[in-house]
């Protein structure tokens, strides 16, 4: 029995965060034994906002290095850069022609990003979901790891796949959402009601995977809690404390009950320091390996060339099937 296919990726803008690691990459590492996994650095999607060219290039390589340092094995996974598999852009355009304006205008992320980047509401930002659908459908992915903020994109992908299949016969696999029950949703340290974001303007709100230990400790000490001084999991009334507990639980695999008992009567100072130390100890070996990989340009180049070649094998097969069905020579 062949393994099910999983596709996921992270945009090439900004530095990777603790939220990216605990909420996504760490889970990807667990999946690599059970599934046939395709993991990309989504640099075409990054073009919907203005980037410094050199920074975009460097971020792409840094994310690739962090993928591997965090435990993604290039031998077991197809790890590639989106732009190096031209079939993504080509199928994205084809799917644009099967996507309705009304569907795109209802996308929450388009509305949110239009507000944040009011001076650059471009067509790519509007048609972004068609390219994301192409990312998924090219590899006939059975499963797509998604958070709540990506569910709309998966739904429009499913709609497009069903629409195309109805018109031209079975072509695309209808992807399902992959949601791990224990998957962590890490919130900001200063605003625990919003997800920790690479684009955070308040640097104390986010832990970057490249942060030095003293920086991590300082950020956790400044983390928002409340005046009760009681370590208790209650996301509604104690979002800050609950977020720190979620981070600690994700790293130690302890239950919330065990964490509450561990810090009973000890106050927030000791709790914050302990969480910070757990994060520092988790990131230390990743950071050490990351620096070695990033300095080995030949190794990185081999990984992304091999990854693109492997990805293109399946992507080109799917695209050729699509072209034949719609009458493109």
Q: What is the 3-state secondary structure (H, E, C) of 113-146?
A: HHHHCCCCCCHHHHHHHHHHHHHHHCCCCCEEEC
Confidence of residue 80 (pLDDT cuts 50, 70, 90): very high
Angle value at C-alpha 313, between 311 and 316, nearest 5 degrees: 100
pLDDT of residue 143: 95
Give 41's strand partners: 10, 81
pLDDT at 35 over 90: yes
The encoded tokens of residue 87 equal 């079939």
Exposure letters 192-202 (e unless 16+ CB within 10 A, then b) = beebbbbebee
Give catalytic status of residue 113 as yes or no: yes
Confidence of residue 245 (pLDDT cuts 50, 70, 90): very high
Q: Which of 113, 219, 238, 272 is catalytic?
A: 113
User: What's the rounded Cα separation, in Å, for the pair 140 and 161?
Assistant: 10
Q: Are 206 and 212 in contact (CB under 8 A)?
A: no
Start-to-end C-alpha separation, the chain: 34
Closest by CA position to 174, among listed 154, 202, 153: 154
Q: Which of 4, 15, 86, 195 is catalytic?
A: 195
Please state at what angle helix 87-96 crosses helix 297-326, rounded to 10 degrees. Answer: 40
The encoded tokens of residue 108 equal 């929450």
Residues 284-288: what's their mean pLDDT? 97
| Cβ neighbours of residue 27 closer than 8 Å, sequence gap 6 or more | 145, 180, 183
Residues 283-302: what's their mean pLDDT? 96
149-153, 196-200, 209-213, range with the lowest pLDDT: 149-153
pLDDT of residue 149: 65
Q: Do β-strands 36-42 and 176-178 pair in parallel, antiparallel, or remain unpaired? A: unpaired
Q: Which of 4, 198, 232, 289 is catalytic?
A: 198
| Cβ neighbours of residue 227 closer than 8 Å, sequence gap 6 or more | none
Q: Would the pTM of this model clear 0.95, i.e. be above it?
A: no
Question: Which domains are present in the chain?
Answer: 5-179+297-326 (3.40.50.620), 203-291 (1.10.240.10)
Which residue's structure tokens are 């996974």?
77
| Cβ neighbours of residue 316 closer than 8 Å, sequence gap 6 or more | 87
The encoded tokens of residue 49 equal 């906002």
Give catalytic status of residue 86 as yes or no: no
Q: Name, of 5-14, 79-88, 115-124, 184-193, the range with top average pLDDT.
A: 79-88
- DSSP-derived letter for residue 208 is B
User: What's the rounded Cα separation, in Å, for the pair 298 and 61?
Assistant: 12
Average predicted confidence (pLDDT) for the chain? 92
């Amino acid at each position: 029995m062949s393994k099910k296919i999983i596709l996921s990726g992270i945009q090439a803008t900004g530095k990777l965060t603790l939220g990216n690691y605990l909420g996504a990459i760490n889970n990807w590492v667990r999946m690599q034994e059970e599934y046939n996994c395709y993991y990309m650095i989504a640099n075409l999607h990054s073009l919907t906002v203005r980037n410094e060219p050199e920074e975009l290039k460097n971020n792409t390589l840094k994310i690739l290095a962090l993928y591997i340092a965090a435990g993604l094995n290039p031998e077991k996974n197809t790890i590639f850069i989106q732009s190096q598999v031209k079939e993504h852009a080509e199928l994205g355009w084809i799917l644009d022609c099967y996507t309705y304006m009304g569907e795109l205008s209802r996308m929450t992320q388009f509305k949110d990003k239009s507000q944040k980047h009011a001076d650059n509401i471009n067509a790519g930002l509007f048609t972004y979901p068609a390219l994301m659908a192409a990312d998924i459908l090219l590899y006939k992915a059975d499963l797509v790891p998604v958070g709540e903020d990506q569910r709309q994109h998966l739904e429009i992908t499913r709609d497009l796949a069903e629409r195309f299949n109805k018109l031209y016969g079975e072509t695309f696999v209808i992807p399902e959402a992959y949601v791990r029950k224990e998957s962590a949703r890490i919130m900001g340290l200063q605003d625990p009601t919003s997800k920790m974001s690479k684009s955070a303007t308040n640097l104390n709100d986010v832990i970057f995977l490249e942060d030095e230990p003293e920086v991590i400790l300082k950020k956790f000490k400044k983390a928002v809690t409340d005046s009760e001084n009681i370590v208790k999991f209650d996301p509604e009334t104690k979002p800050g404390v609950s977020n720190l507990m979620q981070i600690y639980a994700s790293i130690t695999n302890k239950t919330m009950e065990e964490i509450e008992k561990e810090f009973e009567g000890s106050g927030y100072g000791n709790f914050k320091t302990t969480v910070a130390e757990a994060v520092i100890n988790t990131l230390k070996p990743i950071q050490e390996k990351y620096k070695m990989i990033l300095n080995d340009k030949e190794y990185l180049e081999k990984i992304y060339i091999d990854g693109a070649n492997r990805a293109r094998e399946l992507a080109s097969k799917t695209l050729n099937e699509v072209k034949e069905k719609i009458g493109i020579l």
